[in-house]
Structure 1
Amino acid sequence: MIAATKFERLMPPPLLATLLCAILAGVLIFVPPINGLADNGDYYRAMYSNGIYKLLGTHYNYFDFVTQKYGLMKYYNEYSSVNFSSQPLFVKLAIGLNKLFYSKTVFDIRFMGLVNYVFYLGSIYLVTDAFTYPAKRWRNYLIALLVVFVFGDSSFTLYFNSFFAEPQMLSMTLYSFAAILLLARHRYRHRWPLIILFGVSTVLLISSKSQNAPIALSYIVVAMGLLFLPNFKSQRLYLIVGMGLLLITGGLTYKLIGSSFTQINTYQTFSHGVLTQTDDPSKTLRQNGIDEQYALMKSQDYYAKQFATINASGKYVQKNLLTKYDFVWVVKYYMTHLKQFGRLLDLASADVMITQVKAVGDYLPNVGAKAGQQVTFFTGFSSIAGAFFPQKFAFNCLLAVALVMVYAVGFYNDLKQHQIEGVLRFFLVLGLLSMFIFVPIISIVGDGDADLAKHIFMVPVSIDLIFILFVSDILNHRLWHAYDEGQATK
């Protein structure tokens, strides 16, 4: 008993989860031969505008193998940012560390991994603390291990050694979630540090990539719970201003999308959306005023891996196809082809829990791995979830309704008892569930079924957080009401 108490004092659940995730992720991204994600053609958005380029005289691998070393520009950089994004903040931090500790001319991708790693470990600690506070029970070690099993999965941490924005999205989502839950559970005496953490992490999340612009609305739902905080009337004006800032961030992220990025999405919306899950694409095009020949582009990527039926970036496509339709055209098209749209949503639902990017390899060249080979180390959760999670969008909707009803009970009970935990938790779950339902819809309309694992990244992260929250609330007897020490000990 004394030994158990001493262990609990020296190794509380949040610290245990953080150390285990540190080991798992550290082995994957730092220990040679390192692992990461190969370039799928999107790296240039983060590379060139930040002064990083492909090393001259070396073979650069797209899709098949991870590239470890890059060049750093020493003089004038003529490349401007493609999008309005918070990602350059993290990339520039990695470059600064690289120049300080390694080289001023060669960039090692592990410094990008290091930046992502540090932010990630901080978020793991806080979110585990949020799940387990204030109960001091051994069941909380089960919750900590569940956090490791879910968010220590290599399908998440492989992103660290890459120029994708997903690592920052993961960490910022965990920080934002933890901040609200810690507020709900009165973890600290002062509220303002957690409110600031929520605001900053959410702004960084929304602005990390253009696809995240719509989730500003989801986080407005989450922030609405803060209006119920007791003794907070004088600060509500600041909170409303902050909510406005979230909307402005989402608006800017959408409005300042670069033209080249828009062109890629517009093209793939057509080739991977309108032309797919339909028996006769030629007939569909003819009926909607577009030349039937473009049916040959079905499922073709903008950056084709091999032979392409037509040059996606050519002037002919821009003039004769891309000018023929826009966002409104696509929405009207799906509204009149609901069966096809339903199939696409089911396709997105089938990929909801497949968080490992299948389109690119995870290994360096010359280490004996095959081109495009995937890492299997510590991918148990993503494999199980990907295999057994129901693959129907209707199920997702029913699951969302059921979870809202469950947490609405806690909202009502705590509101009646003048408690804040169930209220904040309800709006938190409601906001995350709105992403769970609407992100697949936005992804299909905006980019078809191309790169779904990346485009719906917020969907598995959201439902994973709700899953752990649900389990932790049951184990600590706080699902229907705020935490009560007497109930928790039963």
Structure 2
Amino acid sequence: MIIWKRRLRRAGQIFQKLMPPPLLAVLICAGLAGYLIFVPPINGLADNGDYYRAMYSNGIYKLLGTDYNYFGYVTQKFGLMKYFNEYHSVNFSSQPLFVKLAIGLNKLFYSRSVFDIRFMGVVNYGLYLGGIYMLTDALTYPAKRFRNYVIAGLVVLVFGDASFTLYFNSFFAEPQMLGLTLYSFSSILLLARQRYQRRWPLILIYLVSTLLLIANKSQNAPLALSFVVVTLGLLFLPNFKAQRPYLFVGMAVVLITGGLTYKLIGKEFVDINSYQTFSHGVLTQTDDPSKALAEGGVDEQYALMQNQDYYAKQFATIQASGPYVKKNLLTKLGFAWVVKYYATHLKQFGRLLDLAAADVMITQVKAVGDYTKASGAPPGKQVTFFTLYSQVAGAFFPQKFAFNCLLAMALLMTYAVGFYNDLKNHEFEGILRFFLVAGYLTIFIFVPVISIIGDGDADLAKHLFMVPVSIDLIFLLFISDVLNHRLWHAYRQGADAS
């Protein structure tokens, strides 16, 4: 019996050496995501009308002579412009960096005239797998027990979910947001856990990934404030006094990037958001929208536009992009008007926040199909392969915004204990971890508020994308801290011996 125990222990040590938890998590996620996005018939997300923002400005267009499908089916092949491109980006964004990389790979390995969406998948796939490795390493280091394979399994369960990886074969910004968030979160956690002797590479990874994340999408501009909170924790690093001025410069750049991302939003994009804030926000969750409009100085006839999209799928009561609407409605719907409206209709605003809370963990985009037409699937069909976590979380996560606030307070207070203990003991792991959690909790709470004010309840699964990502990361951090006995203080040698 003793001999068998020794053999099992030896086999376990060899397995740990050959297949550490981060590598195992990456390999499993690589298999799951690779099967969806690369194996024919491929899966991804169909165009909901937003692809043009990333396509035309980067020289990609719908292939002539093909039946381009909106909403129902994933389109695999696109055309590449050969000559002058007259289209310009509608927003200030870092997304073109990733799209141009995909185009470069496509031209190198496939075609100079036809673009295969799988090359966009390759770029997103590579970014994602690096983030998975860093995250699993950060959550498990330096403990050497088999419980870390449980943590690796949870990483796979949460971030290997198809609701995240389906984005890879698309022109949406969300897959880059996921990968960049994994890098940003993990680099701070690796710093807190003193994974490497040199700090500057991790600090550089954190700042670069954070800046690219904020600039990736116009709706990410307010995230600059959340990441300033995260960055404050770096001021507590020991022997870091000489580098603090550079850190303040980095914080200023983060804020400037957020400001530029917001300031340089294209006029057309502003009109779309203003319209959908009105039709999917101001006019919803209220018994008498006409009365509310009259009180706000807007013609009551616009109440007929309730729940109407800017780009209507079917018949629309009035053309949203027409000059009449722009002149008589959109010019009145500034940010101040919307805030004032909700401030005087708090009950309606509360209902909208509860509606957002109900969609917080529903990460799979329901408005578009996940299959190509060649697959033989009916239009709009959704993938169910490896969606257990998103389905369970979407079904059972409490659907009240008040609960989210209470959960955030509980988590903040929990990590405040570690902050206090490590501050008292001149450690810094709990301090960095506290600011990391605090920053991501602001995303969890305030992004729904910003989304409702900025776009109503339209496309909530996409607009709230950073909310489930943030709370999932905190959830994984909490579980790993409990399993490795470091929730209340910095990691201590021998803590993993039990």
TM-score (norm: length of structure 2): 0.98
1:331 shift after superposition:
0.1
One-letter amino acid of the counterpart of residue 482, structure 2: I
How many pairs align?
490
Q: Which runs of 4+ in 1 moved over 6 A?
A: none
Equivalent residue number for residue 242 of structure 1: 250
Distance 1:135 1:487 in 2: 8
RMSD of equivalent CA atoms:
0.5
Question: Could you report, residue by residue, the CA deviation over 1:213-237 in whole angstroms, capped at 9, with x for unpaired residues?
Answer: 0000000000000000000000000
Distance 1:285 1:433 in 2: 34
Alignment of 1:441-452 (within 5 A): 441-452=449-460
> Contact 2:298–2:329 at 8 Å: present in 1 too?
yes
1:476 shift after superposition:
0.2
Equivalent residue number for residue 356 of structure 1: 364
Alignment of 1:393-432 (within 5 A): 393-432=401-440
Distance 2:356 2:47 in 1: 23
Question: Could you report, residue by residue, the CA deviation over 1:287-318 in whole angstroms, capped at 9, with x for unpaired residues?
Answer: 21111111111011111111111111011111
Structure 1 residue 133 corresponds to structure 2 residue 141: yes
Alignment of 1:320-339 (within 5 A): 320-339=328-347
Distance 1:487 1:33 in 2: 48
Q: Which moved more, 1:321-330 or 1:148-157?
A: 321-330
Distance 1:400 1:81 in 2: 37
1:486 shift after superposition:
2.1
Structure 1 residue 259 corresponds to structure 2 residue 234: no
Equivalent residue number for residue 303 of structure 1: 311
> Contact 2:41–2:374 at 8 Å: present in 1 too?
no
1:366 shift after superposition:
3.0
Equivalent residue number for residue 188 of structure 2: 180
One-letter amino acid of the counterpart of residue 356, structure 1: Q
Alignment of 1:411-490 (within 5 A): 411-490=419-498
Q: Which moved more, 1:323-332 or 1:391-400?
A: 323-332
One-letter amino acid of the counterpart of residue 145, structure 1: G
Please point out which of 23, 28, 34 is paired with 2:42.
Answer: 34
Equivalent residue number for residue 313 of structure 1: 321
Distance 1:287 1:482 in 2: 56
Question: Could you report, residue by residue, the CA deviation over 1:427-455 in whole angstroms, capped at 9, with x for unpaired residues?
Answer: 00000000000000000000000000000
Question: Structure 2: where are the runs of 5+ without partners?
Answer: 1-8
Equivalent residue number for residue 163 of structure 1: 171
Structure 1 residue 346 corresponds to structure 2 residue 387: no
Distance 1:176 1:198 in 2: 5
Question: Structure 1: where are the runs of 5+ without partners?
Answer: none
One-letter amino acid of the counterpart of residue 402, structure 1: A
Question: Could you report, residue by residue, the CA deviation over 1:2-54 in whole angstroms, capped at 9, with x for unpaired residues?
Answer: 11110000000000000000000000000000000000110000000000000
1:210 shift after superposition:
0.2
Q: Which moved more, 1:318-327 or 1:250-259?
A: 318-327
One-letter amino acid of the counterpart of residue 244, structure 1: A
Equivalent residue number for residue 20 of structure 2: 12
> Contact 2:144–2:496 at 8 Å: present in 1 too?
no
Instruction: Please give the secondary structure, in 2, of the residue aligned with 1:202.
Output: helix
Instruction: Please give the secondary structure, in 2, of the residue aligned with 1:64.
Output: coil
1:167 shift after superposition:
0.4
Instruction: Please give the secondary structure, in 1, of the residue aligned with 2:495.
Output: helix
One-letter amino acid of the counterpart of residue 107, structure 2: K
Question: Could you report, residue by residue, the CA deviation over 1:444-468 in whole angstroms, capped at 9, with x for unpaired residues?
Answer: 0000000000001000000000000
Equivalent residue number for residue 231 of structure 1: 239
Equivalent residue number for residue 391 of structure 2: 383
Instruction: Please give the secondary structure, in 2, of the residue aligned with 1:4.
Output: helix
Please point out which of 154, 161, 166 is paired with 2:162.
Answer: 154
1:485 shift after superposition:
2.2
Equivalent residue number for residue 288 of structure 1: 296
Structure 1 residue 218 corresponds to structure 2 residue 237: no
One-letter amino acid of the counterpart of residue 204, structure 2: I
Equivalent residue number for residue 121 of structure 2: 113
Equivalent residue number for residue 10 of structure 2: 2
1:324 shift after superposition:
2.0
Question: Could you report, residue by residue, the CA deviation over 1:346-394 in whole angstroms, capped at 9, with x for unpaired residues?
Answer: 0000000000001100000132211111100000000000000000000
Distance 1:238 1:158 in 2: 38
Distance 1:244 1:320 in 2: 39
One-letter amino acid of the counterpart of residue 273, structure 1: G
Distance 2:294 2:184 in 1: 47
Distance 1:14 1:68 in 2: 32
One-letter amino acid of the counterpart of residue 314, structure 2: Q
Q: Which moved more, 1:71-80 or 1:311-320?
A: 311-320
1:487 shift after superposition:
2.4
TM-score (norm: length of structure 1): 1.00
Q: Which moved more, 1:304-313 or 1:460-469?
A: 304-313
> Contact 2:230–2:436 at 8 Å: present in 1 too?
yes
1:484 shift after superposition:
1.1
Distance 1:162 1:446 in 2: 24
Equivalent residue number for residue 201 of structure 1: 209
One-letter amino acid of the counterpart of residue 427, structure 2: Q
Distance 2:246 2:52 in 1: 38
Question: Could you report, residue by residue, the CA deviation over 1:113-132 in whole angstroms, capped at 9, with x for unpaired residues?
Answer: 00000010000000000000
Instruction: Please give the secondary structure, in 1, of the residue aligned with 2:64.
Output: coil
> Contact 2:139–2:480 at 8 Å: present in 1 too?
yes
Equivalent residue number for residue 379 of structure 2: 371
One-letter amino acid of the counterpart of residue 295, structure 1: A
